[in-house]
Amino acid sequence: MESIDGNKLIVKLQKGLAKDGLKVDAIIKGLKELRPYALEEKDPTLTKVTRLTYEHLEANKTFSIPLPPEEAIAPELEEGEEAPEEVEMIINTIESDDDRLESIDYLLSLMLDRENEDNKQDMFAYRDALKEF
């Protein structure tokens, strides 16, 4: 996020998560305060993810979206060996409150640094997962 006030809100939400855990009402309130900053920046993905996230929290009273899938670490290749054509993906799941906290905290960190190409891809993954849930 480019807005200093918007970034302060995100950091405040992250500190609240670290201190108090997943306090759904506080997160919803913070995300609703954050959305106008995303609108002002004319960032449709951030705007949509912010809205979908607080709507998800309102409907489910928790955060049930796992971390985006990760590429598996390729095994060490011997000289002359070729890498496999398909990359194995590690699919994350939500199994505990710690998983929920880690996932929503990661989503908030993506909002802080949207310009990184990997972060953009993960933001798209969260957007798609929230729409499908």
SS3 sequence of the chain: CCCHHHHHHHHHHHHHHHHHCCCHHHHHHHHHHHHHHHHHCCCHHHHHHHHHHHHHHHHHCCCCCCCCCEECCCCCCCCCCCCCCCCCEECCCCCCHHHHHHHHHHHHHHHHCCCCHHHHHHHHHHHHHHHHC
This prediction has a pTM of 0.84
Per-residue pLDDT tens digits of the chain, which is 133 residues long: 889 999 999 999 999 999 999 999 999 999 999 999 999 999 999 999 999 999 999 999 999 999 998 764 445 656 766 655 655 556 678 888 899 999 999 999 999 988 888 899 999 999 999 999 9
Where exactly are the structural domains of the chain? 4-68+90-132
